[in-house]
């Protein structure tokens, strides 16, 4: 039984005992008073009748007529006269039933006054003894009426006391609910402080909880800062702060292979000429300043262009990946012009060469780097600040221009040319956590279904992501109803901005409550940085349906998400750029383990994306991840006879 119910039961029992006890005491007191009054009346009646009998001077006939008339005209229970000459006594008796008081009450609160006794004499001659007992029926009725009035008064008083008690218990319930809510939030990884109540005991409890929450929050903030430091150590070049070779190549491979990666992208390689000679002639500090100047010239691209990333591949080589096609040579030329204005200030011998290539999604990483290296080699042969475009020019699929693609998205949705892919996410025991289900569209009837990388940028520009995401969720709910397998759908961050989006999701979930409990939704990590409040509201609105919400492609900005513990998320998926080749990189292992510990401290499950080999999988399990997705997981799921989805 809950504490509040115990309090209610205690209040109810106390009120009932108070009312019953008050009525009982009132009955006993009133009964005693009535009994004493009747006893006096019995004595008075006996004395008066004795005087009246004495006036008859012992005439038996006259005396009996007097007593009979008195009994018939009065309210008597018994009149008895015992004559002194031992003749048969005169006795009249009658039981009067109470008119109002019930029988049980009469039996329980019986009024039994002593009869009145008087000696009858004629002068000095004794005539006999008189016993008189008046009827108690009216006394029982009066006692009953008085008891009812007392019970009503006590009941009214009890109602007032009960109302006050209910108000007090309701306040205590609210205070306890606040304390319990704070504890539940802590279990869920959210750190909430509450206002201290005026009640001393609960104030002490609340103060202790607030102190604990504050300390845990500070501890996790320190841990997040430590994880960010580990990320910088694992992913960044110590001198320039750019991504190191390992991390940049992981980012590039993920961009080329990811289902929702760009369809076309550009790669620019930049090389500082004669690095060893510069170290000899200018000295190491001056050369380091040159390298930092190159990094500062490149950095604005990644800061201003979403999806653009850059890195330092080795001592003299830098790389820049552009998230769109057709601008690699133009960007390389702009960089050459900018550096030509900056670098000569360090000395006439300082110069760079640049090679650029256009890449299509699914291009192997080795081929992409080889094409870029060839272009860079040709640029170096031409001289300083030269730019060369290498490889085959990548372009969109012929015969289907941008406008046709833009129109094809709503047409595909309207005519049902949309389907979900299915890639397994497995736990450490090999069981299916859920199927990752990116949406694919057939933009023209009869064509193949296209991955999101082909049409999502145009959907964002056309503000069609809400229609796309709601269709994906509807398809996932239908699929769960069919095979009962949990599924996860990724949402575009742009959809969160539309005020009607959450309402449309709620309508879909209301129509399929059973399937909603097996649905997961995730958004890119950038949404938690740029649209924190919108993501928090999405989680709050969908939580009652049992939908799990998380972040995908996470790892680069976890330390930058303020109040991550307040989002109410269920899981975080570490990006392939974090997990790829983790087995061969001790620093990356340390970063992953620190991230997992941080997220587990927030009661979040941690999944790893893009895992492709056994060594990485073993290292990730050792780091404590809760699930793995990618080619490695898909192969194992397929080997069990489930297929790829």
Q: What is the CATH number of the domain that holds 259?
A: 3.30.70.270
Phi, psi of 624 (to 5 degrees): 100, 15
User: Are residues 488 and 381 both part of a single domain?
Assistant: no
- % of the chain surpassing 70 pLDDT: 95
Tens of pLDDT along 391-405? Answer: 754 444 444 555 666
Residue where a domain terminates, one of 369, 390, 411 = 390
Range of the domain at 560: 402-639
The confidence score (pLDDT) of residue 399 equals 44
> Residue 555 maps to which CATH number?
3.20.20.450
Q: Does residue 178 fall inside a structural domain?
A: no
On whether residue 134 sits in a domain, the answer given is yes
**pLDDT confidence of 316, banded at 50, 70, 90?**
very high
Give dist(CA 342, CA 42) in Å, integer.
128
What's the number of domains the chain is made of? 3
Q: Residue 216 domain-assigned?
A: no
Positive/negative CA dihedral, 50, 55, 58, 61: negative
The predicted model gives 102-130 an average pLDDT of 87
Percent of the chain scoring above 90 in pLDDT: 36
What gap in Å lies between CA 350 and CA 347, rounded to an integer? 6
| Residue 188 belongs to a domain | no
Let me know whether 437 and 484 are in one domain: yes
- 522 band by pLDDT with thresholds 50, 70 and 90: very high
Q: Are residues 511 and 615 in the same domain?
A: yes
Our CA angle for 435, 438, 444, nearest 5°, is 135
Q: Are residues 428 and 532 in the same domain?
A: yes
Calculate the average pLDDT of the chain.
86
* pLDDT higher than threshold 90 for residue 626: yes
Burial-class residue 92 by CB neighbours within 10 Å (0-12, 13-18, 19+). middle
pLDDT at 397: 44
Statement to judge: residues 45 and 149 lie in one domain: yes
Q: What are phi and psi of 112, to 5 degrees?
A: -130, 80
More confident residue, 196 or 410: 410
**In this structure, are 374 and 432 located in the same domain?**
no
Q: Which of 361, 390, 419 is the last residue of a domain?
A: 390
Q: How far is CA 618 from the centre of its chain?
A: 32
Among 160, 188, 211, the domain boundary falls at: 160
Structural domain includes residue 183: no
Q: Is the pTM of this model over 0.75?
A: no
Count of CA atoms in the C-beta half-sphere (13 A) of 503? 4
- The DSSP code sequence of 67-109 is HHHHHHHTTEEEEEEEETT-PPPEEEE-PPPPSSS-HHHHHHT
Cα separation, 565 vs 191, in Å, equals: 7
Residue 210 falls inside a structural domain = no
* 453 and 552 co-located in one domain: yes
Tell me what pLDDT residue 189 has.
61
Name the range with the highest mean pLDDT among 55-64, 347-356, 446-455.
347-356
Residue 541 CB burial class (10 angstroms; 0-12, 13-18, ≥19): middle
Task: Confirm whether 224 is domain-assigned.
Answer: no
Task: Out of 206-220, 297-311, 379-393, give the one with best mean pLDDT.
Answer: 297-311
Neighbours of 307 (CB within 10 A): 15
Same domain, 369 and 433: no
Find the helix packing angle between 501-511 and 465-483, rounded to 10°.
Answer: 20
* Same domain for 135 and 102: yes
Whether 245 maps to a domain, the answer reads: yes
Based on the domain organization, do 375 and 436 belong to the same domain?
A: no
Q: Among 502, 511, 504, 452, which Cα is nearest to 477's?
A: 511
State whether 557 and 591 are in the same domain: yes
Specify whether 375 is located in the same domain as 275: yes
């Amino acid at each position: 039984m809950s504490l509040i119910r115990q309090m209610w039961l205690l209040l109810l029992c106390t009120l009932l005992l108070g009312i019953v006890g008050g009525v009982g005491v009132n009955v006993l007191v009133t009964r005693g008073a009535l009994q004493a009054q009747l006893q006096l009346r019995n004595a008075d009646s006996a004395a008066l009748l004795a005087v009246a009998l004495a006036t008859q001077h012992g005439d038996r006939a006259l005396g009996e007529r007097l007593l009979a008339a008195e009994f018939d005209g009065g309210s008597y229970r018994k009149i008895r006269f015992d004559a002194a000459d031992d003749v048969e006594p005169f006795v009249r008796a009658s039981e009067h039933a109470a008119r109002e008081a019930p029988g049980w009450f009469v039996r329980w609160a019986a009024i039994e006054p002593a009869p009145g006794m008087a000696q009858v004499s004629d002068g000095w001659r004794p005539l006999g003894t008189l016993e008189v007992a008046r009827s108690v029926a009216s006394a029982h009725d009066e006692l009953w009426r008085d008891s009812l009035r007392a019970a009503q008064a006590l009941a009214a008083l009890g109602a007032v006391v009960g109302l006050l008690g209910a108000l007090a218990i309701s306040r205590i319930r609210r205070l306890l609910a606040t304390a319990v809510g704070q504890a539940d939030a802590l279990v869920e990884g959210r750190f909430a402080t509450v206002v201290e109540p005026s009640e001393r005991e609960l104030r002490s409890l609340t103060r202790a909880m607030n102190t604990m929450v504050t300390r845990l929050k500070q501890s996790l903030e320190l841990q997040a800062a430590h994880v960010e430091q580990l990320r910088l150590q694992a992913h960044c070049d110590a001198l320039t702060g750019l991504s190191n070779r390992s991390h940049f190549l992981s980012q590039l491979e993920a961009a080329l292979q990811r289902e929702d990666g760009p369809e076309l992208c550009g790669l620019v390689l930049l090389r500082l000429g004669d690095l060893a000679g510069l170290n000899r002639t200018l000295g190491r500090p001056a050369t380091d300043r040159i390298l930092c100047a190159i990094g500062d010239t490149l950095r604005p691209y990644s800061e201003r262009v979403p999806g653009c990333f850059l890195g330092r591949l080795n001592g003299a080589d830098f790389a820049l990946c552009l998230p769109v096609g057709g601008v690699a040579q133009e960007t390389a030329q702009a960089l050459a012009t900018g550096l030509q204005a900056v670098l000569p200030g360090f000395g006439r011998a300082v110069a760079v060469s640049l090679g650029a290539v256009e890449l299509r999604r699914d291009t192997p990483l080795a081929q992409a780097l080889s094409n870029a290296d060839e272009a860079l080699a040709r640029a170096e042969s031409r001289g300083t600040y030269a730019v060369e475009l290498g490889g085959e020019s990548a372009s969109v699929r012929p015969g289907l221009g941008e406008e046709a693609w833009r129109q094809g998205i709503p047409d595909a949705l309207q005519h049902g040319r949309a389907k979900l892919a299915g890639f397994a996410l497995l736990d450490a025991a090999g069981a299916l956590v859920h199927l990752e289900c990116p949406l694919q569209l057939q933009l023209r009837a009869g064509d193949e279904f296209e991955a999101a990388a082909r049409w999502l940028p145009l959907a964002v520009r056309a503000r069609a992501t809400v229609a796309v995401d709601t269709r994906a969720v509807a398809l996932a709910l239908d699929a769960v109803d069919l095979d009962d397998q949990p599924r996860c759908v990724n949402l575009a961050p742009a959809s969160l901005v539309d005020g009607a989006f959450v309402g449309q999701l709620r309508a879909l979930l209301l129509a399929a409550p059973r399937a909603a409990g097996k649905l997961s939704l995730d958004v890119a990590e950038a949404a938690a940085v740029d649209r924190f409040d919108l993501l928090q509201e999405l989680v709050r609105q969908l939580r009652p349906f049992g939908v799990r919400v998380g972040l995908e492609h996470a790892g680069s900005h976890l330390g930058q998400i303020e109040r991550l513990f307040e989002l109410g998320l269920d899981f975080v998926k570490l990006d392939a750029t974090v997990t790829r080749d983790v087995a061969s990189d001790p620093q990356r292992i340390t970063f992953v383990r620190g991230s997992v510990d941080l997220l587990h401290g927030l009661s979040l499950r941690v999944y790893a994306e893009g895992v492709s080999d056994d060594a990485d999988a073993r290292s990730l399990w050792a780091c404590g991840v809760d699930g793995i997705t990618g080619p490695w997981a898909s192969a194992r799921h397929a080997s069990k006879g489930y297929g790829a989805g």
